[in-house]
Amino acid sequence: MFNDKETFKQVFREKLIGNLGKPLEEASNADIYNTLGNMIRENAGKHWVETNQRFKADKGKQVYYFSMEFLIGRLLGNNLLNMGVLEVVREGLADLGFCLKDIEEEEADAGLGNGGLGRLAACFLDSLASLQYAGHGTGIRYKYGLFEQKIVDGYQVELPDYWLQKENVWEVRREDKQVEVKFWGHVDSYEKDGRLVFEHKDYEAVRAVPYDIPVIGADRRHVNTLRNWSAESITQPGRMFGSRGGSDYHKFLEYKRSVESISEFLYPDDSQYEGKLLRLKQQYFLCSAGLQSIIRTFDKLGLPYDTLPDKVGLHINDTHPTLVIPELMRILMDLKGMSWDEAWDITTRMVSYTNHTILSEALEKWPVTMVKELLPRIQLIIEEINARFCRELMDRYPGNQERISQMAIIYGDQVRMAHLAIVGSYSVNGVAALHTEILQKREMKLFDEYYPHRFNNKTNGITHRRWLLHANPPLTNLINEAIGTRWITHPQEMIGLIKYCEDSSFQEKVSGIKRQNKLRLAEFISSKHGEKVDPDSIFDVHVKRLHGYKRQLLNILHIIHLYNQIKANPSMDMVPRTFIFGAKAAPSYHLAKRTIKLINTVADVVNKDPDVKGKVRIFFLENYSVSLAEKIIPAADVSEQISTASKEASGTGNMKFMMNGALTIGTMDGANVEMHEMIGDDNMFLFGLRAEQVLDYYQYGGYYARNIYNEDSRLKEVLDQLVTPGPICCHTQEFDQIFHSLLDNNDEYFVLKDFASYVETHVEIDRAYRNQKDWLKKSIINIGHSGKFSSDNTISRYASEIWNISPVKF
Ligand code: 26V
């Protein structure tokens, strides 16, 4: 490795020539990126091999985090950081005439996830490796990540994200580790040596090829693996067609196309479950390939199978990989010859499950007929799990048919995946205290009573390495100056910053850094939008997926109200605000897409209006992604976390903003509640209904949106503007649907109900910002407490309280 700049430069030059056959003088930024990336991966390779040898020698438990999504974003900067060579490389490249920031922009942003759930998985990988746990990711190598969003005439347009067009320097194709996954066909059963044997026949075989990505921990020496599976066709004649039969060329092409579609694209809708066959195929593909490879590794140890739970942990990220439960049962019984009871005992000591949402429309329920046709053996096993579970329930609640049907795994013609996940695992966790409480007391109450020790909370976290050290180097340096560097490995020690919260010189420095970050973002926005951005305005930021419950609509309605106030009184006294939005809507989510159009329409009207005199400006930044988040978050003054209370399981964006010194305007939802517990009313801006109230309205009724519309003249004015001809509604019925959802459909997400307190709270923010000293004090208190939300903290708890693993020390 290179520990000094000169060695780096020399090694790099040689590598460049070897790699590209080009001298430095002819190299493009892309050439530099490729060479550097390859060089870093090769360097990590040595530690990767050593880490795996250490695992072997240690003979300890390895945990596999199964997830349909790993939203890892770009890796170069973070890998350089974790390898401890960031500065050497930055300076070395500068000497050679290149700017590392520009080189980083050459990397495709791996968008293999929708939002919170996928990004959490990526933060967890970083913490697992950095804390030296044996914890790996198991995912899918989608050819297309989450769509690229363009805004055309104010509308969202989706383009394919062909991220692999650029060479992926981080992955290693491991053909030697491939396995076969079987679909369709039928199951024969017969008795052999006094046992019932099941044989899967006439199936269609798919080749699963892993691509391994090294996950480099913060001390560079510990390197875990993210193993992403790719679906490929089998070309051995006569083996691949399954029920299609025959072997002519057309059939082969048809087969090939159908196989390759399995790992072709990431489903872009994270809010509405749809029973799509291809999605079920993806899920089983992930589970079966991942498990076969894990079992193969275990077999090499030559240990008895009852030790499997001591050597392997399987964690499922939401219900998407729940099929690991029946698939493990299949492997243990059909391939390893175990009895049902032995296999079930092992399985339920291995699997743990995280629930990420209580939105009923996102809960997965697969049609029995679909599972039966696509995965005949798996469906038989699920039926048996269900039958045995229902018998247990009958013993426990004799005659209580209603309770049994509420808890059953198969109900009507559907398999309820959350029930299967709870029954088949030894731990079920929610992702923030409030969310876990709602699971235990409401949504999954019956299961919590039946399995009193199974439910637990693990509040989410974010990796401070990406979201502070990498995204905000000036703030990182300032913290180092103030409290030393121990916080980098012990993020909770950021609390030491609190003692500087009233220190004027420290405040000045925090303020200077924020301004510098705002200037950078202002420049970026100007370059995209061709408009000036005022760095002295409050940067008020709302970035996340677009969804009704996240209430971007509440935000934009408030902005329209502000606009109305300014129009009525152009000399109104307010601190100028720059409202920044970033959000992708699921392609089929019409109301969400209309909300994007509304934001862009209002932006157009307001930004152009000379009466506004720059008091309010609105920018919708297209294609919100991990790399864009890294640019936006360090520059935010205000963080919008305004979900309908009870709906946002945790939120993780809230934590990223807090860590970068933004103040939160938010509801008592998800992890905001815990944020409030730490910093209190003085340091965040809370408003709106509480979860309890929202849930009671849902349960007992009593909310009438139209009454609020009739009574609040500000709101009436705003809503009428959506549907009556004027600057926002240009003789179209574009926003009728939004209007109707609020009034005729009684405002499912309580936007109108929370409007008044939201408006008031924004007035408070305006007032608070004018007192810069006090604002900075609040900001420093936020930063100081944010270490609690480091995913290092979260992962330590998963490790000790769920997985029962310790760091694998050198
Ligand atoms: C659901 C579905 C439904 C079927 C189609 C594809 C798909 C993809 C993803 C999802 C997951 C939705 C759940 C989710 O993302 N929850 C978020 O998890 C974050 C991490 O725990 C948490 O911070 C957010 O509050 C929560 O909304």
The residue ranges of DSSP E strands in 646-765, in sequence order, are 663-666, 685-686
In a domain, 626, yes or no: yes
Tokens representing residue 715 in the block: 């709101």
In a domain, 510, yes or no: yes
Rounded average pLDDT over 306-315: 98
Please name the residue whose Cα sits nearest to atom 1 of ligand 1: 270
Separation of CA 288 and ligand 1 centre (Å):
22
Rounded average pLDDT over 736-765: 98
Same structural domain for residues 97 and 114?
no
- The verdict on the CB of residue 669 being under 6 Å from ligand 1 is no
Please name the residue whose Cα sits nearest to atom 12 of ligand 1: 270
Give the side-chain half-sphere CA count within 13 A for 36: 31
- The verdict on the CB of residue 382 being under 6 Å from ligand 1 is no
What was the pLDDT predicted at 205? 96
- Which of 125-134, 273-282, 337-346 is predicted least confidently? 273-282
User: CA Rg, the chain, in Å?
Assistant: 27
CB 472 within 8 A of CB 711: no
Strand, helix or coil for residue 448: helix
Q: Which residue has the tokens 């959350």?
A: 418
- The verdict on the CB of residue 650 being under 6 Å from ligand 1 is yes
What was the pLDDT predicted at 243? 52
Mutate to test the pocket of ligand 1, among 65, 315, 357, 417 (most ligand atoms within 8 A of CB): 357
Hey, CA dihedral for 620, 633, 751, 712, is it positive or negative? negative
Report the chain's mean pLDDT, rounded to a whole number.
96
Same structural domain for residues 588 and 658?
yes
- The verdict on the CB of residue 268 being under 6 Å from ligand 1 is no
The residue ranges of DSSP E strands in 91-144, in sequence order, are 110-112, 135-140
Separation of CA 81 and ligand 1 centre (Å):
29
What was the pLDDT predicted at 241? 58
The 3 state secondary structure assigned to 227-260 is EEEEEECCCCCCCCCHHHCCCCHHHHHHHHHHHH
Residue closest to 631 by CA, chosen among 109, 116, 71: 109
Q: How many CB atoms lie within 10 A of CB 472?
A: 24
Please name the residue whose Cα sits nearest to atom 16 of ligand 1: 356
pLDDT in tens, 214-247: 999 998 999 999 999 999 999 765 555 555 555 6
- The verdict on the CB of residue 115 being under 6 Å from ligand 1 is yes
Same structural domain for residues 648 and 623?
yes
Q: How far apart are CA 331 and CA 328, in angstroms?
A: 5
- The verdict on the CB of residue 649 being under 6 Å from ligand 1 is yes
CB 374 within 8 A of CB 285: no
pLDDT in tens, 191-203: 998 899 999 999 9
- The verdict on the CB of residue 228 being under 6 Å from ligand 1 is no
What percent of the chain has pLDDT above 70? 99
Separation of CA 117 and ligand 1 centre (Å):
5
C-alpha distances (whole Å) from 198 to each of 187, 292, 377, 381, 592 are: 6, 18, 8, 11, 48
What was the pLDDT predicted at 244? 56
Rounded average pLDDT over 572-586: 98
Please name the residue whose Cα sits nearest to atom 18 of ligand 1: 117
Q: Is 235 exposed, middle or buried (0-12, 13-18, 19+ CB in 10 A)?
A: exposed
Please name the residue whose Cα sits nearest to atom 10 of ligand 1: 270
What was the pLDDT predicted at 158? 98
Separation of CA 356 and ligand 1 centre (Å):
6
Q: Which residues lie across from 93 on neighbouring strands?
A: none
In which domain, by residue range, is 3 found? 1-58+75-108
- The verdict on the CB of residue 457 being under 6 Å from ligand 1 is no
pLDDT in tens, 259-268: 999 999 999 9
- The verdict on the CB of residue 270 being under 6 Å from ligand 1 is yes
pLDDT tier at 466 (50, 70, 90 boundaries)? Answer: very high
DSSP state of 205: E
Same structural domain for residues 456 and 510?
no
The answer, yes or no, to whether residue 752 has pLDDT greater than 70, is yes
In a domain, 809, yes or no: no
Expressed in percent and rounded to 5, the helix, strand and coil fractions of the chain are 55, 15, 30
Q: Is 313 exposed, middle or buried (0-12, 13-18, 19+ CB in 10 A)?
A: buried
Tokens representing residue 504 in the block: 């004027």
DSSP H or E stretch at residue 582: strand 577-582
Same structural domain for residues 240 and 175?
yes
pLDDT tier at 271 (50, 70, 90 boundaries)? Answer: confident
DSSP H or E stretch at residue 476: helix 473-483
Same structural domain for residues 395 and 476?
no
Same structural domain for residues 420 and 431?
yes
Q: How far apart are CA 786 and CA 471, in angstroms?
A: 15
Separation of CA 315 and ligand 1 centre (Å):
16
pLDDT tier at 3 (50, 70, 90 boundaries)? Answer: confident
Rounded average pLDDT over 250-257: 90
Rounded average pLDDT over 8-13: 95
Please name the residue whose Cα sits nearest to atom 2 of ligand 1: 270
- The verdict on the CB of residue 67 being under 6 Å from ligand 1 is no
In a domain, 810, yes or no: no
Please name the residue whose Cα sits nearest to atom 9 of ligand 1: 270
Same structural domain for residues 178 and 200?
yes
State which ligand 1 atom lies nearest to the alpha carbon of 115. Answer: 15
What was the pLDDT predicted at 361? 85
Tokens representing residue 297 in the block: 């590794």
Please name the residue whose Cα sits nearest to atom 23 of ligand 1: 651
Q: How far apart are CA 280 and CA 272, in angstroms?
A: 15
CB 366 within 8 A of CB 416: no
CB 41 within 8 A of CB 47: no
Tokens representing residue 294 in the block: 């894990």
In a domain, 588, yes or no: yes
In a domain, 31, yes or no: yes
- Say which CATH number the domain at 743 has: 3.40.50.2000
Angle (CA) 602 603 605, round 5°: 65
Q: Which residue intervals of 535-684 are DSSP H helices?
A: 552-568, 590-608, 626-632, 653-659, 672-679
pLDDT in tens, 583-626: 999 999 999 999 999 999 999 999 999 999 999 999 999 999 99
Separation of CA 322 and ligand 1 centre (Å):
15
What was the pLDDT predicted at 22? 87
- The verdict on the CB of residue 114 being under 6 Å from ligand 1 is yes
The answer, yes or no, to whether residue 802 has pLDDT greater than 70, is yes
Mutate to test the pocket of ligand 1, among 67, 265, 271, 356 (most ligand atoms within 8 A of CB): 356
Same structural domain for residues 429 and 494?
no
User: Annotated active-site positions, please?
Assistant: 356, 544-545, 550, 652, 656
Please name the residue whose Cα sits nearest to atom 7 of ligand 1: 270
- The verdict on the CB of residue 436 being under 6 Å from ligand 1 is no
pLDDT tier at 501 (50, 70, 90 boundaries)? Answer: very high
Q: How far apart are CA 778 and CA 785, in angstroms?
A: 11
Amino acid letter, residue 41:
R
Long-range contacts of 491-497 (CB under 8 A, 24+ apart): 491/464, 491/787, 491/788, 491/790, 491/792, 491/793, 492/787, 492/788, 492/790, 492/793, 493/787, 494/783, 494/784, 494/785, 494/786, 494/787, 495/784, 495/785, 495/787, 496/784, 497/780, 497/783, 497/784
Same structural domain for residues 395 and 539?
no
Domains held by the chain: number = 3
Q: How far apart are CA 498 and CA 514, in angstroms?
A: 18
In a domain, 808, yes or no: no
Separation of CA 408 and ligand 1 centre (Å):
24
Same structural domain for residues 358 and 344?
yes
Same structural domain for residues 556 and 419?
no
Separation of CA 357 and ligand 1 centre (Å):
6
The residue that leads in pLDDT, 2 or 709, is: 709
- The verdict on the CB of residue 124 being under 6 Å from ligand 1 is no
